[in-house]
Amino acid sequence: MTRLSSATLAGLPADIVRPGYDRAAVRPGVVHLGIGAFNRAHQAVIFDDALTAGDLRWGVIAASLRSPGVRDQMMPQDCLYTMLVRDGSAEQARIIGVVSEVLVAPEDPAALVAALAAPDTHIVTLTVTEKGYKLDPATGALIEDDPQLAADLASLAAPQTAPGFLVAALAARRAAGLPPFTAISCDNLPHNGTRLRNAVLALAARHDPALADWIAAEGAFPETMVDRIVPATTDADIAALAARLGVEDQAMVKTEPFLQWVIEDKFCGPRPDFGAGVQVTAAVAPWEEAKLRLLNGAHSGIAYLGGLAGIDHVHEVLALPEARHFVESLWDEAQTTLSPLPELDVAAYRRELMARFDNPTLQHRTRQIAMDGSQKLPQRLLATIAARLSAGQGIDALSLAAAAWVRWQAGVDDRGEAHVVDDPLAAAITARLADAPSTQARVDAILAFDAVVPADLASNAAFRAALIRWLAILEADGARAALAQL
């Protein structure tokens, strides 16, 4: 079938929203590292809105730091793609035209450094996942034995990591007399701007202390919170959209109506006049904390308990009354650890979250959310558990979610069906659990794994007891029985 492209735009059905600006006149003011479905449904849309409003400085050059998959989807389509916004029976299709080029970093590192160092580049955004920052989750230090980071520590002639590309480009900008860009992490990490800044400064200092000082003084790494549910696109989604459009779009994304981007008011250069969905604020932490502990914490619990029960999608898990009770109980526990701003109505936020989780048209897969759990658990669940324990409060629902993650590591669900544990630390966790013959031993093996569990929490007797209790139930009777007991 003919692909979506500039040449086929005019022939699309009349109800399809098209770019309302001259793409040829757009200047690339943004470089995005780690282009994936979430970026295409979130930050790219916001910059597309800026173009639509008439400010043509905010086109995007995107880059994949690993594989050519997204490049091969988008470049044959002139980087156009469809965003489907689904809510119940309603569906709106919009063609996004903000991206002008997709680079593949391993194929041509110099091209990406040049894009980052270009005078028109004012903002760099990143969605590289927790593991892309090359920081030890326990210490915050660079993971120097990581092969890619080790290569960047030796030389930045051909960077391999996100921090490496940023440092190489900032060095080139400084040499050319250009100011630094504003680097914005859009990953679900607490203090994501500080983490990105620390990674960049640490790597820069190893190559040129004066460069690190310049970045520290002149650069900007605002904290951010991003929120939008973006399920993985399926072959069936692509086929259904092709039937509607009359052309094939291999880069389409599907999402919900809700979109939020909270950005710390800390820029070192130009920025768009951000529109709907974006809040520029002096304090991101309360928003970030609420999202991580309520939305993301519940999502992880739903993913592991639902996945163990053999349930494919979030809305199907929440069709179980005991699962809804679990989510509300987890929120009751997590809410006491928040410090919300007056404008954040937590009760309304919880109602909105449940409605978003219930959206059946998203088809948000539990196994998609379950990926990279070792990188997500510390901020989504363990920090909340630690806060509750320090206040002398119970952790019943939170510890059930954590125990479900431990159970998920076995690679077999409650029906005896195998699943892939898609996690950068899967091999290390499997090795630890292989030598643990009992539930108690398995809990102790996980608690001793300081790459995931902080030492203070690992030594907490109440947490250990709760994990042992729930893991025993999960192993003997399954996730549905554990939810019923809660």
Amino acid 465: pLDDT:
98
Q: Per residue in 146-165, pLDDT tens?
A: 999 999 999 999 999 999 99
Confidence label for 89 from pLDDT (cuts 50, 70 and 90):
confident
For the chain, what is the total number of helices (H) and then of strands (E)? 23, 11
Q: Which residues span the domain enclosing 463? A: 285-485
Q: Does 1 fall in a domain?
A: no
Q: Per residue in 430-485, pLDDT tens?
A: 999 999 999 999 999 999 999 999 999 999 999 999 999 999 999 999 999 999 99
Confidence label for 88 from pLDDT (cuts 50, 70 and 90):
confident
How far CA 466 is from CA of 297, 359, 372, 476, in Å, comes to: 17, 32, 23, 16
How far CA 125 is from CA of 32, 46, 216, 257, 285, in Å, comes to: 5, 12, 18, 22, 19
Residues 270, 312: one domain? no
Is the pLDDT score of 265 beyond 80?
yes
Residues 313, 341: one domain? yes
Mean pLDDT of the residues in the chain: 96
Residues 460 and 271: their CA atoms lie apart, in Å, by 46
User: Among 41-45, 90-94, 305-309, where is mean pLDDT lowest?
Assistant: 90-94
Confidence label for 113 from pLDDT (cuts 50, 70 and 90):
very high
Residues 114, 141: one domain? yes
Residues 309, 435: one domain? yes
Residues 132, 269: one domain? yes
CATH number of the domain to which 369 belongs: 1.10.1040.10
Amino acid 347: pLDDT:
96
Residues 247, 303: one domain? no
Q: Does 324 fall in a domain?
A: yes
Residues with Cβ within 8 Å of residue 392, at least 6 apart in sequence? none
**Mean pLDDT of all residues in 324-335:** 98
Amino acid 138: pLDDT:
74
As for how many domains the chain has, the answer is: 2
Residues 273, 420: one domain? no
Amino acid 290: pLDDT:
93
Domain final position from 233, 265, 281 = 281
Residues 302, 269: one domain? no
Q: Is 462 exposed, middle or buried (0-12, 13-18, 19+ CB in 10 A)?
A: middle
Amino acid 156: pLDDT:
98
**Mean pLDDT of all residues in 201-208:** 98
Domain final position from 216, 250, 281 = 281
Residues 291, 412: one domain? yes
Q: Per residue in 387-428, pLDDT tens?
A: 999 999 999 999 999 999 999 999 999 999 999 999 999 999
Confidence label for 90 from pLDDT (cuts 50, 70 and 90):
confident
Q: Per residue in 474-483, pLDDT tens?
A: 999 999 999 9
Is the pLDDT score of 41 beyond 80?
yes
Domain final position from 262, 281, 300 = 281
Residues 451, 463: one domain? yes
Segment (H or E) for 92: strand 90-96
Residue 128's nearest CA partner among 339, 363, 424, 340 is 424
Q: Find the DSSP H helices in 141-245.
A: 147-154, 162-175, 192-207, 209-218, 235-245
Predicted TM-score (pTM) of the model is: 0.84
**Mean pLDDT of all residues in 175-203:** 96
